[in-house]
Amino acid sequence: SQTIHQWPATLVQPVGSPLSLECTVEGTSNPNLYWYRQAAGRGLQLLFYSVGIGQISSEVPQNLSASRPQDRQFILSSKKLLLSDSGFYLCAWSVGPREGYTFGSGTRLTVV
């Protein structure tokens, strides 16, 4: 069966510090991978998606970046965090959006 792992569950980081969130998927090959952010009053905002290794599309301009070094690994990074980067970050995968997305358990990031 397919599973998705996302860590850490919670993170408190100072402004200006770097960020690395990791997401891995098991039990499927060549999934579409997504990073979403849930911020207060903003719903679920798509940040990045990837349809293959090294293929990253960004939906919104920001100081975050994403990478897909392996087929089932998706990483969200920042060189210098801003207060506005606080939120609940969710990784998801799908074989096609009509099949639905499977979300990870999320990371609560608080930038202080």
Partner 1 sequence: DQQVKQNSPSLSVQEGRISILNCDYTNSMFDYFLWYKKYPAEGPTFLISISSIKDKNEDGRFTVFLNKSAKHLSLHIVPSQPGDSAVYFCAALYGGSQGNLIFGKGTKLSVKP
Residues forming contacts to partner 1 in the complex (CB under 8 A) are: 6, 9, 32, 34, 36, 41-46, 49, 51, 59, 90, 92, 96-98, 100-106, 108
Which CB atom, from 21 or from 92, has the smaller least distance to partner 1?
Answer: 92
**CB under 8 Å to 53, separation ≥6 — which residues?**
68, 69, 70, 71
Find out whether 35 and 91 touch, Cβ atoms under 8 Å: yes
Nearest approach in angstroms of CB 5 to partner 1 is 11
Which CB atom, from 6 or from 78, has the smaller least distance to partner 1?
Answer: 6
Nearest approach in angstroms of CB 69 to partner 1 is 22
**Phi and psi for 31 in degrees, rounded to 5?**
-75, 160
Largest separation between any pair of C-alpha atoms in the chain: 39
Which CB atom, from 64 or from 90, has the smaller least distance to partner 1?
Answer: 90
